[in-house]
Structure formats: C-alpha cells, structure tokens
A and B are shown apart, each in its own frame.
Chain A
Amino acid sequence: MSDETVTLERLADYLDSGRIPYDPSIEEVPENAGQLAVLQRLRALSSRLVADEGTQESLADPSWFGGVMERVRREARSGRDIPLVSSDLQSTLHLTEGAVRGLIREAGDSVPGAVVISCGLDGPLAEPGAPIHVEVTISALRGIFVPAMADEVREAVATRLLAQTELVVDSVDVIVGDVHQLGGGAA
C-alpha cells in the first residue's frame, strides 16, 4: 500500500462532506481516487436495498462492507507493470495492473445489481500478446436470474478490456460469491 493511501474512514467522511473542500490527497492520488469511486458506487447500491432479513444480514453488516473495501484497497495498488509496445526507442510505456483491476471493477459494477468483490489476472502480464485469464467474483444484488447477470458481467468486462487495453484475454470467469434481493423497483 502506498504511503499516500488514506483510511476508509477519511474517504467516507470526504464523501459525506460532498467532496468539499476539494482534497488533492484523495482526488489526485490514483489509488485513493479509485477507492473513492468504489465507495460511492457501494453507497448508491446500498441505498436501494430492501430491508429484508437477508439483506440486513449482508450489506448492512459492517464486516461484509469492510471485507469488500479491504479487497478494493488491496487491488487498488499499482501492482505489476504491464509493458506496452512502443514504436520508438525513446519511449517506455506501461499500464499498471491496478489500472486494469479498476477497469474490471468498474465494468462489473456497471451491470445493474452486481458488485465486484474481487478480481484477479492470471498469466504472463509482462509478455505483450500472451493470453491471460481473468476471474471476477461478484455479489449479485438483484434477486433474479443470476446466470444472466453473470453473463452480463462477463460481457461487460471483456468488452471494456478489449476497448481500453491491448491485453489478450483468453477467458473471463465470473464467480457469484453471494446473492441479495434488491428493491426500489429493480427486476
């Protein structure tokens, strides 16, 4: 974890304050900015939960929430550098593993009712063009046909990786870690 990483409590307080005054130590540090975005998405989803027993025991449970954020914090680190092909000898180009994880998390979270708990990249990231395997574990917050949601997550992740990276993705596996029921008119 970077020395510049701030605590979850501080991120929560910053969101509570409406991100005012502007805090460059959060907004201008990629790891912190990424965690802030996830925290904001989680809060938005939590606000839509039905107050049924199962829901109360899971998302309202600080240990569940803390567990997800702890994974987010670990995965927000830069991680391995993924070299990018350069057309000249004067340029050195890389993409961080943390950036890819952030993209996967954002893609998965964009599927209605899904929350990405963790994601993993398996394969020789340092070898341009080598195929890699992606594994995404989600919490399915929509109490409907879960396999369809998993397919949506898989498609969203694959599409974003294809559009925004040059990684050769051999497979994307989606694991549904748990399931919750959403309210507020969700299907």
Chain B
Amino acid sequence: MTDTLADDLAAVVRSVPGVAAIYPRPGFAQLARSVIGTVTKTTPQVAVALSATQTRVELDVAVGPEHSGPAVARTVAAAVLDHLAARGAPGPGVDVRIVALG
C-alpha cells in the first residue's frame, strides 16, 4: 500500500505548478524508525512512513523560476494532505522543504 501511496503522492506533487523537481529527504528512514518504530519502503522521491495511527510524508522540492517558494510549499502540503484525507490515511502529517529555487 505504501509504495502505491508514495507513487500517487509523487504524481500529485509533480502536478503542482512551480514544482521543478522532487528529491528524497536524506535520512528520512532513520528518523521514521526512531519516531514510529516501523519504516515502510520509500520511493526515490517521496518518503512515506505509515503506522496504525500516523502517516508521515516527507519530501524535498525544487521550485522553478517565477514561482514563490513558500507559496509552492503550501500548495504542495495542501495537495498531499488532501490526497491523504481522500485515502483515509490515519494521523496525516507532511513536511515539505524547499531545497532549490530556480
């Protein structure tokens, strides 16, 4: 399920205007293991950690020229949370970091 969810989330994020690239968050697996205890598989771009009560999504994003980094970050987060809600994911949370501004 997590692989599919991560793939779907990557597609959702890529469709947000201003997103030039998505990068995996370095060290996410270790963090998720310490917080949640169980780490699911990650895709190359969007990391998803899922437990019975929490769904944690982390990703790094490059923003293209002519776009506001903070505005894109908010739109990405909202799109991810909307998708998680539609999927009925428990305890959703998202961490978006802008790592490049074109």
Contact = CB atoms under 8 A, between A and B. Distances in A.
Contacts of A91: 74, 77-78, 81, 93-96
Contacts of B73: 84, 93-95
A4 B44 CA distance: 14
Interface residues of B, number: 28
A163 B68 contact: yes
Interface residues of A, number: 32
Interface in A57-98: 78, 81, 84-88, 90-96, 98
B67 interface: yes
Interface of chain A, helix or strand or loop or mixed?
A: mixed
Nearest to B98: A95
A12 to B, nearest CB: 21
Given A28-B21, A99-B69, A93 B101 contact: no
Given A28-B23, A86-B74, A103 B93 contact: no
- 4 cross-chain pairs, A with B, having the tightest CB-CB distances, nearest first: A91-B77, A103-B101, A92-B95, A30-B99
Interface of A: 2, 4, 28-30, 33-34, 78, 81, 84-88, 90-96, 98-100, 102-103, 106, 160, 163-166
Interface of B: 21, 23, 26, 44, 60, 62-63, 66-70, 73-74, 77-78, 81, 92-102
